[in-house]
Amino acid sequence: MKETEVTESWNHIFIFVVHPIIIIIVFLYSINLTICDSISAPSDTILLDCGSSGESSYNGARWIGDIGSSFLLPKYSKSSSTLSVLNQYHKRVPKIPYSTTRIIHSPLNYTFSFTRSLKFIRIYFLSASYLNMNPSKAYFSVKAGCYTLLSSFSPFVASQELNLAYFTKDFLVNVVEEKLNITIIPSSLISNAFAFVNGIEIFSVPSTIYFPVSNFHVPYLGHQELNISDHQYALEMLYRVSIHEVENVFGAWVEDSGYLYSSLHGSVLDSRIRPLSITYNTSTSFDFNYSAPEELYWIARTMGSNQDANMEYNLTWSFPVDSGFKYLVRLHFCEISMEVTKVNQRVFKVYINNQTAEERMDLVALVGAPFVAFYKDYVVMVPRESERRRNMSIALHPNIASKPKFADAILNGIEIIKLSDSNFNLAVSFPLKEEHQKKKRKAPLVIVLACTSAVAFALFIAIYVLIHQSCKKQNRENLQVLSLNATRENYKNMQVKMTSGHQCYQFTLAEINIATDNFKEDQVIGEGGFGKVYKGIINDGVTPCAIKRCKKGSHQGFKEFQNEISFFTFCHLNVVSLIGFCQEENELILVYEYMANGSLCDHLYKKQNQPLSWNQRLKICVGAARGLHYLHTGTRQSIIHRDIKSANILLDHHLVPKISDFGLSRIIPFSSHTHVTTEVKGTFGYLDPEYYKRRKLTEKSDVYSFGVVLFEVLCGRPAVKRVEVEEQSEKVGLAEWALHCHQCRSIEHLVDAKLEGKIRSDCLVAFVEIGIQCLSHRSVERPTMGDVLSKLEDILSLQESFEDQEITM
Ligand SMILES: *[C@@H]1O[C@H](CO)[C@@H](O)[C@H](O)[C@H]1NC(C)=O
Ligand SMILES: *[C@@H]1O[C@H](CO)[C@@H](O)[C@H](O)[C@H]1NC(C)=O
């Protein structure tokens, strides 16, 4: 009994006293190493443009052609050929190094002389049919020193998997000699295989970025313990994923949304609030250029504010990897929520490949404070299986065993790095399946050809053509399957999102075609940046609806489409309802209830409509204010519309106003009482000046825009108007004009000529007053939508009593 207690207390001493000291020592040591290494880094960069000659400058970098260079022995120049390719390709393909290539039919060596250090090696590939050779015959290995970087590698297959015509493969290799050979070997597994390479980039990097300093223990999700020491491994940098795009010396990190696997995607916590200062955990060495850039920690993905829903799912990312290798998984964390500042407020589990990597991840407890950036490494074995590719999953789930304040989880970035195996391989050779089948089918035909007549020869030709075509077709089908799956994935996400709200119907494209008479031009009722809006009839020709068709290929359109769908989980008389959507054959279509009277601006100045009475205008303002107040406060989270304007306030056949267009809307969690910082979006003339200057988005930005709408209603003129001032055309903002008139006590100049004599003077004063308050430069001085609403209701009842009097008189 006693003995165990003694050992336990020694354990405690180790954990709390000795361990931190070791960490600090290791840290100091690594800083030292990092500084030394980074000084030597830039001097030995090589950018080799394969298949070209001389030097060329591109995007600020100096590339050297491999023809006649010291890196390639003359004998290799003879056994390979070079080719220019770009003219067949899209303008978006970077000219260097992709416009030239070296085609290789027998093993070829590039030799580089170097200082010894850890090298980053990037190899550039553009999959194309070079010299009309079948791109699927490009099948080869690449070695760097004793390491096999690629084996049985098919750029054609890789480019299909990535859905990119050009791409790079990135490696880290510890070079222990003063030179490095990069050898490219066409595969012997298939006949007439060739190799090609478009470019090679090499530079030195600090040795500590991924290799922990000497035998540092890394948690290993497998059965045995694992020690990594720095020169037994070569690495392939497979995935560097962040929540928003960031960049470091190795290039851009990719947004995580393409790898999200769970049906729910949580929410993005954006805390680019200045002065937000992130500090760095001292137990991991940070070098912003080489490891994660600082911006990575500014934005995180959390599970979302619906804590009951969080308990029901794992926030999961999934990455295809090769089976039979170990991977270094580096997870980046930073607690950036204003609410989570103490221990036991956000505690979660981390699973990697369904194994528990962390049972109790409490960032504040782990690093001692919020706003501390931190990463943690895990080594994961993915066992060899019959399937070459497998998915590596990373999942987060709340741990509520100790009753933390929030049932939530948070993550800022993921890196997945493949480790070479004990035979210095980063890849194993895997024969292409189809190739074997092809050979089998061809062999008997060749025999027939050899021993019989020209009839058989003709037969051979015929069958060959058939096979060839069917292969081509199969390839096309494979591509289709790929894109179909992607669409299905999108459907799945949307459907899950929508089940939480009211019923939303998924239309087929055929139904939409019928509803709009094949998108007939005379059915167009509106047009915007996203595309056209058509009037349609659904439900067997009874219910009118508005059908918004996003422009094809617009990335912005797709984002706004998703946004619209995810925001339509609420239902209010003064908010336009979404009836359904359609996503088919590259079409993104939203179907809304039909608003017979079009937009508010049509009635104020845009079209020759019967002018609205002051009473009608007040009622519209009250209704719109109700809708906006509901968005700000009536749902679980506060929704900021971000694009309030008279064109987005629609009127039904009874002139009931409804707020529409949620393409730019953002959610702000209630409890946070903060704002989000974002890119400035909205419409000129309605844009909150404070939001514009500081990118600080709050509900008050909508209040400002609503103030502009109030003056549009009063003045009957647009938010921005061209006026002739001393023979010059100038754009004058309605907001400034209103403020000017208010200051000069000449508010009667603001009144629409059509309303003259129709407005009670105390109503006018009160209306201008609330409008001016909405336009306050400082957001804190603006009223809330609730205040605006009750003020407008008072003005309306005052006006109504006035009109009643008029009638009785
Ligand atoms: C993890 O579990 C899921 C669901 O049971 C399964 O589909 C997936 O293949 C598993 N992954 C691994 C690596 O075992
Ligand atoms: C989350 O993932 C773990 C590991 O795969 C699994 O055991 C657990 O059941 C999952 N939880 C939910 C709610 O899906």
User: Is any atom of ligand 1 closer than 6 Å to the C-beta of 314?
Assistant: no
The two tokens of residue 411 are 């993550």
Annotated binding site: 548
- Residue 354 alpha carbon, nearest atom of ligand 2: 5
- Residue bearing the CA closest to ligand 1, atom 2: 354
Whose tokens are 């055309």? That residue is 729
Residue to mutate, 263, 314, 349, ligand 2, most ligand atoms under 8 Å from C-beta:
314
The two tokens of residue 522 are 């005379």
Whose tokens are 């720095």? That residue is 230
Q: Which ligand is nearest to the CA of 391?
A: 1
**Among 3.10.20.30, 3.30.70.1450, 3.30.200.20, 3.40.30.10, what is the CATH number of 505-593?**
3.30.200.20
User: Is any atom of ligand 1 closer than 6 Å to the C-beta of 387?
Assistant: no
> Residue 294: is it exposed, middle or buried by C-beta count within 10 angstroms (0-12/13-18/19+)?
middle
Annotated binding site for ATP: 548
- Residue bearing the CA closest to ligand 1, atom 3: 354
The two tokens of residue 555 are 């990335």
d(Cα 371, Cα 238) in Å, to the nearest integer?
A: 28
Residue to mutate, 352, 380, 393, ligand 1, most ligand atoms under 8 Å from C-beta:
393
- Residue 353 alpha carbon, nearest atom of ligand 1: 13
Candidates 49, 256, 287, 643; catalytic one? 643
Concatenated DSSP letters of 221-254: ESSS--B--TTS--EEEEEEEESS--EETTEEPE
DSSP strand E in 439-593: where? 505-506, 524-528, 531-538, 543-550, 578-584, 587-593
- Residue bearing the CA closest to ligand 2, atom 3: 354
CATH architecture observed for domain 45-205:
Sandwich (2.60)
What was the pLDDT predicted at 431? Answer: 54
Whole-Å CA distances, 511 to 484, 517, 544, 588: 20, 10, 14, 14
Q: How confident is the model at residue 541 (pLDDT cuts 50, 70, 90)?
A: low
In which order are the strands placed within the sheet that holds 348-352? 315-322, 389-398, 348-352, 355-361
- Residue 313 alpha carbon, nearest atom of ligand 2: 13
CA of 708 to the centre of ligand 2 (A): 50
CA proximity to 239, closest of 317, 131, 335: 317
CA of 354 to the centre of ligand 1 (A): 6
Question: Considering all CA atoms of the chain, what is the largest pairwise distance in Å, rounded to the nearest integer?
Answer: 115
Task: Tell me the pLDDT tens digit for each residue of 547-563.
Answer: 988 877 666 667 677 77
CB 123 within 8 A of CB 169: yes
CA of 262 to the centre of ligand 2 (A): 11
d(Cα 127, Cα 587) in Å, to the nearest integer?
A: 28
For residue 684, pLDDT beyond 60: yes
Concatenated DSSP letters of 287-330: -TTTS--GGGGGEEEE--S-HHHHHT--EEEEEEEETTEEEEEE
For the entire predicted model, the pTM comes to: 0.53
Q: How confident is the model at residue 253 (pLDDT cuts 50, 70, 90)?
A: very high
User: Do the domains 215-419 and 45-205 match in fold?
Assistant: yes
For residue 586, pLDDT beyond 50: yes
User: Is any atom of ligand 1 closer than 6 Å to the C-beta of 354?
Assistant: yes
Of the ranges 396-405, 535-544, 641-650, which one carries the lowest mean pLDDT score?
535-544
The whole-chain average pLDDT of the chain stands at: 77
Residues linked to residue 316 through DSSP beta bridges, in sequence order: 395
Q: Which ligand is nearest to the CA of 395?
A: 2
- Residue bearing the CA closest to ligand 1, atom 9: 391
User: Is any atom of ligand 1 closer than 6 Å to the C-beta of 353?
Assistant: yes
d(Cα 198, Cα 166) in Å, to the nearest integer?
A: 10
Task: Tell me the pLDDT tens digit for each residue of 129-161.
Answer: 777 778 888 999 999 988 999 998 999 888 888
Is 661 a residue of the active site? no
Residue to mutate, 354, 356, 394, ligand 1, most ligand atoms under 8 Å from C-beta:
354
Task: Tell me the pLDDT tens digit for each residue of 369-383.
Answer: 888 888 888 888 888
Q: Which ligand is nearest to the CA of 349?
A: 2
What was the pLDDT predicted at 763? Answer: 92
Concatenated DSSP letters of 84-125: E-GGGS-TTS-HHHHTEEEEESS-EEEEEE--SEEEEEEEEE
CB 79 within 8 A of CB 132: no
Residues with CB under 6 A from ligand 2: 312-314, 351, 354, 395, 397
What was the pLDDT predicted at 727? Answer: 55
CA of 314 to the centre of ligand 2 (A): 6
- Residue bearing the CA closest to ligand 2, atom 4: 354
* Interhelix angle 761-774/734-743, nearest 10 degrees: 120
- Residue bearing the CA closest to ligand 2, atom 8: 314
- Residues 623-634 have a mean pLDDT of 88
CA proximity to 197, closest of 132, 116, 143: 143
CA of 408 to the centre of ligand 2 (A): 15
Q: What is the CATH number of domain 215-419?
A: 2.60.120.430
d(Cα 197, Cα 607) in Å, to the nearest integer?
A: 61
- Residue 355 alpha carbon, nearest atom of ligand 2: 4
SS3 for 567?
Answer: helix
User: Is any atom of ligand 1 closer than 6 Å to the C-beta of 562?
Assistant: no
CA proximity to 334, closest of 305, 368, 375, 293: 375
What was the pLDDT predicted at 160? Answer: 85
The two tokens of residue 304 are 């979302």
Task: Tell me the pLDDT tens digit for each residue of 42-80.
Answer: 457 899 999 998 898 888 889 999 998 889 888 887 778
- Residues 407-415 have a mean pLDDT of 96
Q: Which residue has the higher pLDDT, 482 or 724?
A: 724
Residue 645: other Cβ atoms inside 10 A = 24
- Residue bearing the CA closest to ligand 1, atom 4: 354
- Residue 382 alpha carbon, nearest atom of ligand 1: 13
CA of 396 to the centre of ligand 2 (A): 9
Report whether the peptide linkage leading into residue 20 is cis, meaning its omega lies within 30 degrees of zero: no
Residue to mutate, 353, 354, 358, 397, ligand 2, most ligand atoms under 8 Å from C-beta:
397
CA proximity to 615, closest of 760, 715, 749: 760
CA of 353 to the centre of ligand 1 (A): 7
What was the pLDDT predicted at 679? Answer: 67
- Residue bearing the CA closest to ligand 2, atom 13: 313
| Boundaries of every domain in the chain | 1-36, 45-205, 215-419, 441-498, 505-593, 600-807
Residue 589: other Cβ atoms inside 10 A = 23
DSSP letter at 346 equals B
CA of 393 to the centre of ligand 1 (A): 8
For residue 30, pLDDT beyond 50: no
CA of 258 to the centre of ligand 2 (A): 21
Q: Classify domain 600-807 at the CATH superfamily level.
A: Transferase(Phosphotransferase) domain 1 (1.10.510.10)
Q: Which ligand is nearest to the CA of 350?
A: 2
- Residue bearing the CA closest to ligand 1, atom 1: 354
Q: Which ligand is nearest to the CA of 387?
A: 1
